Amino acid sequence: MSSNDLRGLQVVNKAYRSILALSAMTASLSSVALEAIPDDELNHYTGQAFITVDASSYSDATLGNYEFTRVNLGLDIETLSNADELRIGEFDRSYGADGTAPIVDDNRNIVYNADGSVAVHDADIIIQNFALGRVDNYNDPENPEIVPFKIKDPYIELAYKMDANNPNIRRIAGVRIGFGQAQGDLSGDLISLTGSLEGEIRGPGSIAYDFSCQDAGFFDFNCIALSLAANAEIYAGVNLLDGATGEATLNGARYLKRASWIGVPTGTNFETDDALLGPLLPLLAVSEDCAVLGVTACFPTTNYQSVYVGDPTKDFENGSASGAFISLQLESVPWEDLSGIAGASRVYTDKGAFLNVAKYADSSGQQRYPLYLDLYNALTGEPRVATCIGRTKGC
């Protein structure tokens, strides 16, 4: 085995340890004593298995044949968890290769290494000061209120790739940790993200006008359009972006790797349900070079210190998000899409780590975004909720 093979094996082992550590942290539960139940008493109980195992297969005309084994944990978890850093998928990538995004500064200028190459982050997922859940009234040590991150039906799934020449031989291609349903605050310094992080910006047009048009001339076309929409609610979908271009993809890859910016992708637009402006606004408010009608539409992911997964206005059953997972692949893997969206089939992932926090279907079948940002906070940033007693972070 060559030194390169050994180095690759070490990287893979390190990444697997990272994702397994995340699994252990997320599934941490209070321990309880177990006692045997007599047969005559057991007759009075009914229920279902605490752990179930599902096996499935999938064939892709391009990628080949796969088998999957999913271990379902019938758990309802409420957790407040803190970690100094979550780092997964640490191996060499280069700018542009397989959709790897560049590091850019606050002015969207590409950062270069000392040798002249474009700088990229050194891991697929880097979240510093990572936390799930929050603490209200955190400065009062006598009366803090823990608001946990809630998870229902977590699972661990292994993907196996079948050998094209011998169907009796298979190898592990990937592993993922997923949640049947999840709701609550996810906090951290989002340094590097790989995968799908979908959300929606929504708010009154007057906020965009106030941010962009205070010093504009009377005949500024963008501000005229925003003034027309001042009393209407406007909204747009947001995704991970290449901060240098505002594009959601790079070199035709399926998704961006190691992105550090998020916003309204180039070519998409603000919309409104206003009857008068509805047909007009999409024609005017198209994102180009990280701006929509003169309003900044791309932001560093570090602006958002806390994001709420799910709908904060609803209870868990009606407001939780489904289909979220984090995975690690040694090669391309087509994971089953568990978002509940009609017609959804597979989430295609490439080598490395992948974070999937994408659109899902709620209990009524309506498509929802797992992340919502009001327009004001999208433009100014989302502060971190407290995740410790006595301080906001760094427990």
Kindly list the domain boundaries of the chain, sorted by start residue. 3-27+48-380
Q: Which of 147, 32, 44 is nearest to 388 (CA)?
A: 147
Q: What is the pLDDT of residue 44?
A: 63
Please tell me the predicted confidence (pLDDT) of residue 293.
66
Give mean pLDDT, residues 263-281: 77
Supply the DSSP symbol for 239: E
Confidence of residue 17 (pLDDT cuts 50, 70, 90): low
86 phi and psi, to 5 degrees? -110, 115
Work out whether the CA dihedral 272, 273, 278, 282 comes out positive or negative. Answer: positive
How many residues are there in the chain? 395
Mean pLDDT, residues 66-78 taken together: 95
Round to whole Å and give the CA distance between 390 and 395: 9
Contact (CB, 8 A) for 360 and 321: yes
If you average pLDDT over residues 154-172, what whole number do you get? 93
Q: Give the orientation angle of helix 205-212 with respect to helix 221-228, to 10 degrees.
A: 150
Percent helix, strand and coil across the chain, each to the nearest 5:
15, 40, 45
Using an 8 Å Cβ cutoff, are 84 and 184 in contact?
no
Q: Which residues contact 190 (CB under 8 A, 6 or more apart)?
A: 127, 260, 301, 302, 304
Which residues are paired to 216 by β-bridges?
none
Section 325-330 average pLDDT = 97
Predicted model pTM:
0.83
pLDDT, the chain, mean: 85
Sign of CA dihedral 365, 248, 179, 78: negative
Rg for the chain (alpha carbons), in Å?
23
Indicate whether 33 pLDDT > 60.
Answer: no
Largest Cα span, the chain: 85
Residues ≥6 apart with Cβ < 8 Å to 142: none
